[in-house]
Amino acid sequence: MNESHPEQNITIPGGPGGAPLHFTPEEWQQFRESDLGACRSVVVLMASIFTVGLILYATIDYLIW
């Protein structure tokens, strides 16, 4: 990812001759950990919504049957 594209006038940060990185490696690690925590939260929320829907469906199915 550390490369520049002079033909397109695009410079990737941290590449040769490019701008320096705006975040330290420690900050990037914090971002990754934060993203992982958010990912886990999304998965838990999706699973709980699915479970609640399944329980509601089963309850209605039982009451109608």
Burial of 15 (0-12, 13-18, 19+ CB in 10 A): middle
Cα 52 to Cα 20: distance, rounded to the nearest angstrom: 48
Question: pLDDT grade, residue 42 (50/70/90)?
Answer: very high
- Can you give the residue ranges of every domain in the chain? 24-65
Q: What is the pTM of this model?
A: 0.59
What are the angstrom distances between the C-alpha of 17 and each of 21, 28, 56, 64?
12, 22, 60, 70
Write the pLDDT tens digit of every residue in 4-40: 555 566 555 666 666 666 888 899 899 999 999 999 9
